[in-house]
Each structure stands twice: as structure tokens, then as C-alpha cells.
Amino acid sequence: MQDDKLKLEDFLNRSKVDDEGEYINNVAIIGAGVMGQGIAQTIAAAGIEVLLIEKDDLYLEKAKINLSESIDREIKRWAMTSSEKKSILSRIKWALSFETIKDYDIIIEAVDEDYELKKRIFQALDRIAKSDTILVSNTSTLSLTKIAEFTGRPGRIIGMHFLNPVPKIPLVELVKCVHTSNDTVEVVKTFAARIGKTPVEVYEYPGFVTTRAIVPLLNEAMYILMEGVATAKDIDTAMKLGYNFQNGPLEMADSMGLDEVLAWMETLWKTLGEPRYRACPVLRKLVREQKLGRKTGEGFYKYDENGKIILKSI
């Protein structure tokens, strides 16, 4: 009888958690870069109100333009309609201050892969957000456990590692740190499904699953290019046709942002110390030259204003 009572309580508690995830009314996102824009678009398309926060007017206006132009490209490809664009943008608000996030149900941090920056942001969010707000990081390599320990709500800290382009990739890694509660996991799993993502639970470890697995492939392709074994185009063609990849590794790196890829490699090399994560000199050279891939118009390839490859870069 006691066991039956416990099972009933578990069921009721689980139902309550699922309801919380299902009826999250609003989400704030810190950082309106490529990832922040993609996350905002995805959440708004699911009918949820979004607040997107940037550090100054220049970055904020640039983000608004980039998001609008990105959706326009989808409209040109018949992947979206003008009415859908209007509906999505109507659900996105823009701000420059954290003070506006105090009533939001989930807050997602999507800034650069910088531990000190993320730590400061989480400390500030912890002070301002309501006590039951879940704080999420989009980090791909950094320790959530360390970040959580600088807040007063470690059980409500979790990672949601989205992949770029966010609106098109149906996966999100749910990263549990040492402190993440089961309730938090269940709420975020339900939320992820609501915005059209398949959640995969992973435990905190440098690179998790997707980053840790893809980085050595990208790095090796770069070394193959540097050693003159094949051109960038032929390397990508070989991998696409030989292994049924949608995009080759060098084109993939360009779309991720070469500065981001380098940051992942440096973190994995520093934390794991394994040679496969030591960044190829070609990647370092491109990042020094600010040839960061599709977002700057040049990386391993050159791109037109619509982000399409126009010719081989190196």
C-alpha cells in the first residue's frame, strides 16, 4: 500500500513538472549573435514570447537586420512565408538591460565561449531573475558545475547545446551538471520537445557528445588541406559522397564560425590534452585574418551575400 502511494505521488509530481514545461510563457535570451538569433526564431515559431538582449545598440540593430534577412532568405527558398515571418518577429522583443528579465520562466545564455563572461552573466541573472526561473547555458565545452556554484540556484542550472543553424537542426543536447535537479531536466525536456527539438541527455564533460565527436573530424580535414592532399572542395565532396554527409567538414566549419571552432579546440586541448584537439595552423591563420567563415563572407570558401559558396578561398 505504501508503495502504491509513492507511485501515485511520483505520477502527480511528474505531471506537475510536465505541465510546467508545457506552459512556459516566455523565454529571455542573453546574446543576439548567430546562435541567439536562431534560438529566438525557433522559440518564437513555437508560439512562445521571446526577449532577446544585447550589450549595446549597435549589436542590437545588427542582430535585428541579420535575423530579418535570414528569414527573408528562407522565404525566397519557399521554406517560409511572409506571414510566418511577421508572426515570428511579433513575438520577439529586444532589450539592452538585464533588469527586464525578472519575470521570465527560462533564461538562455548564448554569448561567446568565455568562462569568465558566462560566470558574470549567471551571477547577474541569479540576482535578478525570480527564484524558480531556470537558467540555461548554450555552452558547448565549458563546465556548468563551476558556473552553477556561483549562483544560489545550482539545481536550476542546465545546458541546452543547440547546433547551428538552430531552426533547421532537430537536436538539442541537455547537459546535466552535478547539481542539476531531476525536475529541471524534466521541465527542459518538455520545453525542448515543444519547440521542435529532440532532447538528448548528456552528463557534463568537455565537448559533450556532438562537439567532442565533430572537432577531430574538422581538424583532420584541415590538416589534409594544409598537407596538400586535396583541395577544400574535393575534401568536402569526398566526405559528402563517401559518407552521405549533408555538408563536408570544411564547409561545416565555415558555417559554425571558425572563431567558434577554434575556441572549442582550444578548450578541449587544454582540458583533455589529446593531440586530436590541437588546432590546425590553417585554422589559426584564418581566424587571425578575421576570415571566420560564412558570417564574414570568407573562410575555407568565399560566400555571396546570401551565404552561398561562390569560390574556393584557400
Per-residue pLDDT tens listing for the chain (314 residues): 444 444 434 433 443 444 555 668 899 999 999 999 999 999 999 999 999 999 999 999 999 999 999 999 899 889 899 999 999 999 999 999 888 898 899 999 999 889 999 999 999 999 999 999 999 999 888 889 999 999 999 999 999 999 988 999 999 999 999 999 999 999 999 999 999 999 999 999 888 999 999 999 999 999 999 999 999 999 999 999 999 999 999 999 999 999 999 999 999 999 999 999 999 999 999 999 999 999 899 999 999 887 889 876 66
Domains of the chain: 2-203 (3.40.50.720), 211-301 (1.10.1040.10)
CA pair distance 84, 74, nearest whole angstrom: 11
Residue whose C-alpha cell reads 563572461 in the numeric block? 117
Using DSSP, state whether 129 is helix, strand or coil: coil
In the chain, beta strands by DSSP E: 26-30, 49-53, 92-95, 106-109, 134-137, 157-162, 171-176, 198-203, 301-303, 309-312
Contact 34, 63 (CB under 8 A): no
39: buried, middle or exposed (CB in 10 Å: 19+, 13-18, 0-12)? buried
CA pair distance 198, 181, nearest whole angstrom: 20
Helix axes of 210-226 and 281-288: crossing angle, nearest 10 degrees? 90
Distances (CA, A) of 7 to 1, 20, 288: 10, 20, 58
CA pair distance 184, 206, nearest whole angstrom: 21
Residue whose C-alpha cell reads 535578478 in the numeric block? 128
